[in-house]
């Protein structure tokens, strides 16, 4: 593990941002080439949704990986902000390209496909996290309250993975694998925090 940490040491966090926007560039390229099939808006929506979930899950892996000695902590902010970047685009694609910003359409879609409300809940949980993901906010809030606020990510990721399971309408393997992975990663945190709680009581 130490060799892996050493190998990563010269990699700056901007490289994670640069690598992380490549899938976005790929989507833009495919759109321009007409390579997204018969319903490009839906394809864009789905690809952005999946990317946001993948970055959210990657962010959730950082702490358990540190427990086993693999330290990616300095890339965590980049991973989280990339998740928010894709999530915002996913949301905007739905609002602007899919619904055409028409309030009646938006309301009808929320009633018809209420898993979108679950996704919306996940998105709203992420907004305060993205806004406070800077050194000034950490200093102003204090590390403890900042950490407490950032536990909202757990609710956001859980909502996002449930939303993905529900999008499919039938039981599909891939969404269930994501949900299972998220549940395991969240349980690991509960398990790790447990002895500390008992010790503090």
Question: What HEC string does 111-171 produce?
Answer: HHCCHHHHHHHHHHHHHHHHHCCCHHHHHHHCHHHHHHHCCHHHHHHHHHHHHHHHHCCCC
- Tell me how far, at minimum, the Cβ of 32 lies from ligand HEM, in Å: 21
Q: Which residues in 39-98 contact ligand HEM (CB under 6 A)?
A: 42, 45-46, 49-50, 52-53, 56, 87, 90-91, 94
- Does 27 engage in binding with ligand HEM (CB under 6 A)? no
Does the footprint of ligand HEM cover residue 159 (CB under 6 A)?
A: yes
Alpha carbons 157 and 87: distance in angstroms, whole number: 11
Note whether 181 binds ligand HEM by CB under 6 A. Answer: no
Phi, psi of 34 (to 5 degrees): 70, 30
Give the range of 63-71, 113-121, 136-144, 187-195 binding ligand HEM by CB under 6 A. Answer: 113-121
Spatial distance between the Cα atoms of 52 and 39, rounded to a whole number of angstroms: 20
Contact between 130 and ligand HEM per CB under 6 A: no
Q: Is 116 in the site for ligand HEM (CB under 6 A)?
A: yes
Q: Which is nearer to ligand HEM, 72 or 83 (CB)?
A: 83
Distance CA 146, CA 133 (A): 9
Indicate the residue among 15 and 174 with the shorter CB distance to ligand HEM. 174
Report how many helices (DSSP H) and strands (DSSP E) the chain contains, helices first. 11, 0
Distance CA 53, CA 94 (A): 16
What is the contact surface with ligand HEM in residues (CB under 6 A)?
42, 45-46, 49-50, 52-53, 56, 87, 90-91, 94, 116, 119-120, 122-123, 156, 159-160, 163-164, 167
């Amino acid at each position: 593990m130490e060799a892996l940490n050493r190998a990563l040491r010269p990699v700056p966090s901007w490289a994670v941002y640069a690598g992380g926007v490549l899938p976005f560039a790929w989507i833009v390229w495919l759109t321009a080439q007409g390579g997204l099939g018969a319903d490009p808006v839906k394809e864009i929506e789905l690809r952005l949704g999946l990317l946001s979930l993948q970055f959210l899950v990657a962010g959730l892996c950082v702490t358990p990986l540190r427990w086993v000695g693999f330290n990616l902590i300095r890339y965590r902010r980049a991973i989280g902000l990339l998740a928010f970047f894709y999530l915002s685009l996913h949301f905007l694609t739905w609002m602007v390209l899919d619904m055409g910003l028409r309030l009646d359409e938006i309301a009808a879609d929320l009633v018809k496909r209420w898993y979108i409300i679950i996704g919306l809940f996940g998105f709203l949980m992420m907004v305060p996290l993205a806004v406070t993901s800077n050194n000034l906010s950490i200093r102003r809030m204090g590390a403890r309250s900042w950490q407490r606020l950032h536990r909202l990510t757990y609710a956001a990721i859980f909502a996002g993975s449930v939303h993905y399971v529900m999008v499919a309408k039938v039981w599909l393997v891939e969404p269930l694998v994501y949900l299972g992975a998220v549940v395991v990663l969240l349980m690991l945190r509960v398990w790790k925090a447990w002895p500390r709680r008992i010790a503090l009581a």
